Every structure is written in C-alpha cells, then in structure tokens.
Structure 1
C-alpha cells in the first residue's frame, strides 16, 4: 500500500481526521478534483498531485480517526500507513499541513484526552515535529466559528503552544477551504518553503 508516490524530492503533505475538508483544500490548492465522498474513509490511498515540470508533489494522505462503518483494525492500519509514509519520506517533506475542523476540534481533543490517550490531532502535530517536518495547522471551516480568537487560542493551548495564537502565524492558519479563503495557510507554507530555500515553489501557494 502507499507505493504510488511519484519520485519527487520536494513534497507537501496534508494529514488529518476524516471529514475535516482535506480533499476540498487539496482541490483549492491544485485546481484539480479528486474523488471525495460524503462517507468518511473514502480516501484510502494517498492522492498525489505532481507537476511534470517541477520536482514537487502535494499529497493528500488518507483521513484517520473514527470513521462510521469502518472497522477499528482498518482505521488503525490507515493511521499506521500515514505515519509510516511520513517517516519514510520525512527528509523530502517540506511542510506537513495538519487539517482540523475549527468548529469541532477543541471538543474532539478534549473528549479524547485522558491518562492513556493522546488525541490524534495533538499526536500528529507532535509527530510531525519529531520527524523534522514543520507542521502548519490549517484550521478549516472558520467561517462557521463565532469566537474565532478564543477558539484559536484554545487550540494553541491544546497543542502546547502558548497563546495568543497570533504569535504562531507560521504554525496556525485559520482558513475556509470551501470559500477559497486560504491566505493564512499560503503565508504559513511560504514561510517554511523559504526556510528550506525553496522560494521557487511559491508559485503553488
């Protein structure tokens, strides 16, 4: 599984739970439509979008976490595959975009925070950092959130970043993928591309 990665030296990956809008975001970034479903877990293999003339690929990795109608062992396997993919390609991945649902992310994190449990979103954020992939948290569906600053501050708090969120603009990016409102994400991604000496990739963001 996951053997279809194009041979490219530079990559940006999208990771996140099912149904947070990763595929919509991918479509907005690339102008290319991928199979998306109303049912969670539709994307089981990575969607790669590579530009033939550039040594670069954007990959939308399968959603992880709870998926209605998907057995737990399958869910665990998907998450394992995602983690392994990122580990195997970490040296080539310039940015890991962790997509979360701005409306529900705090509730989901709090519901899954316990002595023996680390919420998937928090775990993935720290995992990206641990393998040397700069994470950018794309906080999607922010057009549906009233207490915007409070919500983003709370998210920073859950991720172990000191609020206020505005001091983390290279890491926390409020967006609305459906409305094409991606400015904060594009700025954050460009920050990390610049750090990696890849200003030539700005044309894609």
Structure 2
C-alpha cells in the first residue's frame, strides 16, 4: 500500500505502463530532477509527489503497471492493485488523471491484449478514471517516432471508444507530446482546460 501521501486537496495523477516516459514528463512539467528515469522499466515503485504546500496542490507520478522485465507477475499485480486503490481513495482530490502512453507502440500493445474477455491495461485504466468521474487526459508520448501521426491518433481514439477524428478531443482528452524534447504544450493546454473547468484558475501558473 502506498503510504505518506501529502495532505493536499488538489492533485494531478500520472499513470501508465512502465517505460512510457512518465518520469521524464514530470521532470519537464515541474522543472525538478527528483524523478528517476532509466532504461530499465519499473524504476518508479512508489508514488513520487511534487507538491506546493501553499497551494495545497501536487503532481503525482504513480508507478508503471503492466509487464516489467525482472519483476514477478504477482508483484506487478500488487502494484496495479495499489495504483487502483490510491486513485479510488483520493478520487475527490484528483482534478485530472493523465494516462501516459507510448505513441509508437500503444496500438500494437492494445491489440495484442484484446482477446476474448480481455481488456488491455491502458483501455481499462482510461475507463476506470472516467468511471470515477475524474477528467482524463491521454498524453501520447514519443510522437517523434511516429510516421503517420493523424492515423495513429485516430486509431487510439477508436480503441478508447472515442469517435475519430482525434482533433475534436485535443482540447481536453488527447495530447500528443515528446517529453524528452520538452514538447509538452498540448498536455499543458488540456490541463489548463480542466483546471479552468474545475474553477481552479489559481493553478494555471503550474502549467504555463
């Protein structure tokens, strides 16, 4: 179980598979180097909180879920259960849930796990956040490695049950980014949208 959550009344959580670039994205958003990044999946095992006490606000980088080399399946399931429980228990404070996916591989991964009775982790997490009433943004990272951007994003919308074209979701749901190069403006735009909708314009300064 994840302990020691700072007592803050507004939070943005980042979820996603291991190695999709969540920690790099957090570093770009906060300008802070406390977020470990590494070639080895599963570097983040506990939530990383970056909080502003005076604003009672924080960004939280949750551990990666799904396959991790060198991590037993039982332990992967424990991590996933902890992530789900954390989000459920703090849903009222979570202003936005950001699902980070790898633009290059996400469609293949979803399709590979779409057998009968199976729901891919990414799709499941998207629906889970939505069901809890948490505004959900999909940050589609590593878009510099994608040849046909529009086709890929339309395919992703299709897999998530959103009607293409993807452009109609770019204000509030779909954010193509390249975290490594600091190209994260589309994500900031969606966060600004949701902060404004939540009547929290006081937080806009964190996503300038």
TM range (shorter): over 0.9
Quick one: distance in 1 between partners of 2:163 and 2:54?
41
1:178 paired with 2:180, answer: yes
Quick one: distance in 2 between partners of 1:57 and 1:4?
13
Map 1:92-131 onto structure 2 (within 5 A).
Answer: 92-131=93-132
Quick one: distance in 1 between partners of 2:43 and 2:19?
10
- TM-score scaled by structure 1? 0.98
Quick one: distance in 2 between partners of 1:203 and 1:155?
30
- Encode CA deviations 1:3-42: one digit per residue, 9 max, x unaligned: 1210000000000000000000000000111122221111
Quick one: distance in 2 between partners of 1:129 and 1:8?
22
What is the Cα-based RMSD across aligned positions, in Å?
A: 0.7
Matching residue of 1:31: 31
Quick one: distance in 1 between partners of 2:152 and 2:202?
34
- TM-score scaled by structure 2? 0.97
Quick one: distance in 2 between partners of 1:29 and 1:142?
17
Shift of 1:161: 0.2
Map 1:125-164 onto structure 2 (within 5 A).
Answer: 125-164=126-165
Shift of 1:90: 0.3
- Encode CA deviations 1:144-202: one digit per residue, 9 max, x unaligned: 11100000000000000000000011100000000101111011111111110001101
Unaligned regions of 5+ residues in structure 1, if any? none
Matching residue of 1:53: 54
